[in-house]
Chain A
Amino acid sequence: MNYNNFFAEAKNQGVEALELYIVKNKKFSFSLFNHDLNSYSVADSFVITARGVINGKMGYASTEKVDKDTPKFIIQKIKENAEFITSDDESIIFKGSEKYFKKNLFSKSLADTSENDKIALVKELSNELALKDNRIYNIEAEYEEETNEILLINSYGLKLSSKGNYCYIYLAGFANDEKGETKSGYDLKILTDLTSLNKEEFIEKTANKIISQLGSEPCLTGVYKAVFNPSCTANLLRFFLDNTYAQQVQKNTSLLKDKLNKQVASSKVSISENPLTRNVFFRYFDDEGVATKNKKIVDKGVLKTFIYNLSTAKKDNVETTGNGYKGNGKIHTSLVNVVLKPGKKSEKELFEKVGNGIYITSLQGLHAGMNSQSGNFSLQSQGFMIRDGKLAEPVSLITVAGNLFNLFMNIVEVGSNIELQPSSYSVPSIIVKKINVSGK
């Protein structure tokens, strides 16, 4: 595609600086229901997101349509929208970082595997899951593969590109207990190479998630010592880190506002962001074109930095941390490849350390039940009792309630069982000193 017309039109219409951010996406997916192919899908799309500065203000527009009138339309909209901006935020189109750490992470092996082989693999997983336990039924299996190409070009001559691909496989099923109550469970694997899949482990884990909650009931209401599994820990961490975003701090809606270089979590907690880690989520430039870097956010419980994009950094007179990512239009802040530094104890050893307590494996309704600003949460949850240092009966239909900031202060141990989550967070299980559980 030729983007020169956009830049020529921008010049014509007096736009001072223009940036185009083009994402090309290819998707391939299919799903099986009880081992039969149930849906199949292919897709090919692109979007051009444009922003431009005029009279010091930034206007935005985006399009999935490109014809001869598009550049003119887009530049007009940018101009029109820029005129309405009354925010004092600095409008910056970035000239470029000194150095970028580009890596090629495109997986040729994934791209070259035939569709038939992919379908055969997922069929095999679906069949194996059924064989694993005869109580499992209504098996759903899904495969989705995406290839994304990003191109960022601006009128200062900056041109950055990246291309990546990955797939995920989702396995789910139902089981009934003796009373006829239905439970469901699923597991998800994100892969860049199908040969790296440990099929047995994946099936074992999925079957366990489906079966292990059979017969579960609410536990007694009370205050418990708790272990949160990696997926729950990642969810809690995500909301905690929202409060490190400079835009929240600057707008007085973060309770971490005056906490820089102060204790915000237990000394067991060290958190870093490693966008340059070689994995599916690798990013070497953010959506403003700034080179990303690995960094410590919390070190032994002490908050080391807030998270910035170009405009929030300018406000605090600091350098951006390379975390400007696009929301709907405006650049917001986001984190990729966050790591909660693992400890030495296995999850089993965490249970032993807890002795008697609760193991939380699911937190539901976070978008509504978690107030990331006050940190108060009350969430539907399920898991297992921990008795005498071992996992005991399953519990469900309980709520766990507490305050996020207190919870991070109350982390007494971080496990060694680090797992990469679909959210890009790599986290192990944690022990929390106490949590309110509401059950029966």
Chain B
Amino acid sequence: MISKKIAIEVLNIALKTGCDFADIYLEDNVSSSINMDNGKVEDANDEITYGAGIRLLKNLQSVYGYTNDISKKGLLNLASTLAKSFEGKQEVFVETMTKQKVGTKHQPKIDYTTYPKKDIISMLKEASDVMMGVDPRIVRARISFSYNKKYVTIFNSEGKEYHDIRSRGRAYLLAVAAKEGSIETGGSGPGASKGMEFFLDEVNLNEKAKDAARIALTMLDAKECPSGRMPVIIGNGFGGVIFHEACGHSLEASSVSKGLSVFSGKKGTKIASDIVSAVDDGTIDGAWGSGNIDDEGNKTQRNLLIKNGILNSYLVDNFNGRRMNEKGNGATRRESYKYEPTSRMSNTFILPGKSTPEEIIANTEFGLYARSLGGGSVNPATGEFNFAVNEGYIVEHGKISYPVKGATLIGSGKDTLLKIDMVGNDLKREQGMCGASSGSIPADVGQPTIRVSEMIVGGRGGQVK
């Protein structure tokens, strides 16, 4: 998008007043989306996002700016505006720029941009018809489909140049079931850093449509969940959002480095029960949160976060790593050039244990089986979290007894991790969008079925004795 020569010139302007590091991040991205409601295409859209972000670091201070004007003039202007934040003499000089190897994983076999949109629409229509056909109480089927192709270029003051191509696609299916005075929903959102082959060969949207409808219908007939403290079995796949929210965010250097996280200074200490090990792995072939390099140019890694209950590693970006005396470990991400990059998760999950999910249920005298969770949020200072249960069942005498709706799980991350007393062998990852200071980014959450010996369950179905 810009020549080496211009990049060197812009970086030297940025460095003029004494910052110790500078980088330029350029992005040229086309995203396409299709929204279908009850089988009809409501809108189809293509969006070009295009721009550059320039970052200057000096010790523990960062300066960031972005613009759509990536002409030489536009970039020089931005760099010199940003450089005004510092007062000093240039100490770092950029003379040459060397292209770095970034790898070529996670590339589409069938590029979305070459696949006919009308064929994608036929696929969505079929899934929509399947969803509506499950039961007359399914009153609305919403399906959206989106994909993008992003060209990323990074130049930095260490004279390194990176080029990466990132391509992703995702469908989202939502079933709405209704009966007199009551409406419930069920959803599913498969996606990958792959091309159209993901939807042709790996995922069957009709099956996902049926599953979304099944959840909505189950919840329509469900009783209100009782409230109180009880054992909670959390289902595999999206159940891993608990770990993502309650632990993953608190392991990001952005909060750890400033002492803002409950896990600050806890490396090497026990933070989870012995049967818990967890990773953040940005290298998984074609996974939703994977990449060749992160947004500082570091190669993505498989970072073992927790090993048998002991905190082993944080998620570190180069800038926040400065406060921690650690180097970035491939975990620096951002939504777009409009965000300054920081430490974030990629594909984060609890590793499988030994129990089968059936054994976990059979070993539970009374409790809630949260088969599928919705979103949640966490206060990184206290680790207090909340999650909505999308599909829940009461377990009695080791058996699934009846479905319940309206349940919320609340607790604090550090207590919950220590209370995990069973870990299943059925690891599964599912896709989500993770929002934080550097924007909304694709991330996999995941886990096997696990059991937490006690959690606070909120619900409207009266208190458990």
**Chain A residues close to B by CB (< 8 Å):** 33, 36-46, 58-65, 73, 77, 80-82, 84-89, 138, 174, 181-184, 218, 221, 251-253, 255, 328-330, 364-365, 367-369, 371, 373-374, 376-380, 396-403, 436, 438-440
Contact = CB atoms under 8 A, between A and B. Distances in A.
B132 to A, nearest CB: 13
Interface centre among A62, A138, A369, A374 (most CB of B within 10 A): A369
A400 B410 CA distance: 11
Given A40-B85, A45-B67, A376-B406, A255 B181 contact: yes
11 contacts: A39-B62, A39-B340, A44-B66, A60-B46, A84-B121, A364-B379, A364-B384, A365-B375, A373-B185, A401-B227, A438-B457
B459 interface: yes
Given A329-B33, A401-B459, 15 more contacts: A39-B340, A40-B64, A60-B44, A64-B50, A87-B41, A174-B260, A251-B38, A252-B178, A328-B45, A329-B44, A329-B45, A365-B388, A369-B388, A399-B386, A401-B406
B69 A44 contact: yes
B37 A436 contact: no
Contacts of B153: none
Interface centre among B47, B118, B457 (most CB of A within 10 A): B47
Given A373-B183, A378-B459, A436-B227, A63 B384 contact: no
A253 B183 contact: yes
Contacts of A65: 28, 48, 50, 68
Contact of A399 (B340, B377, B410): B410
Given A42-B81, A84-B41, A399-B408, A368 B387 contact: yes
Contact of A380 (B81, B224, B458): B458
B304 interface: no
Contacts of A77: 46
Contacts of B379: 184, 364
Contact of A43 (B140, B338, B385): B338
B41 A85 contact: yes
B375 to A, nearest CB: 4
A182 B262 contact: yes
Contacts of A184: 379, 381-382
Interface in B339-379: 340, 374-377, 379
A403 B459 CA distance: 11
B439 interface: no
B452 to A, nearest CB: 15
B382 A183 contact: yes
Interface size class of B (residues with CB under 8 A): 35 or more
Secondary structure of the B contact surface, majority rule: strand
B397 interface: no
B388 A368 contact: yes
Interface centre among B37, B68, B408, B457 (most CB of A within 10 A): B408
A41 B340 contact: yes
A368 B459 contact: no
A89 B35 CA distance: 13
Interface of B: 28, 33-35, 37-51, 60-69, 78, 81-82, 85, 117-118, 121, 139-140, 176, 178, 181-185, 224-225, 227-229, 258-260, 262, 338, 340, 374-377, 379, 381-382, 384-388, 405-408, 410-412, 456-460, 463
Secondary structure of the A contact surface, majority rule: strand
Contacts of B260: 138, 174
A265 B18 CA distance: 62
B340 A401 contact: no
A402 to B, nearest CB: 7
B86 to A, nearest CB: 10
Contact of A397 (B33, B34, B338, B456): B456
A64 B28 CA distance: 10
Contacts of B85: 40
Nearest to B380: A184
A401 B37 contact: no
B49 A64 contact: yes
Given A39-B64, A84-B117, A252-B139, A138 B258 contact: yes
Contact of A221 (B117, B227, B388): B227
Contact of A62 (B48, B60, B184): B48
B437 to A, nearest CB: 10
Given A84-B121, A138-B260, A330-B35, A44 B68 contact: yes
Contacts of A396: 384
A378 B388 contact: yes
A192 B386 CA distance: 35
A40 B374 CA distance: 35
Nearest to B27: A64
Contact of A39 (B40, B63, B69, B407): B63
Contacts of A138: 258-260
A369 B392 CA distance: 14
Contacts of A81: 43-46
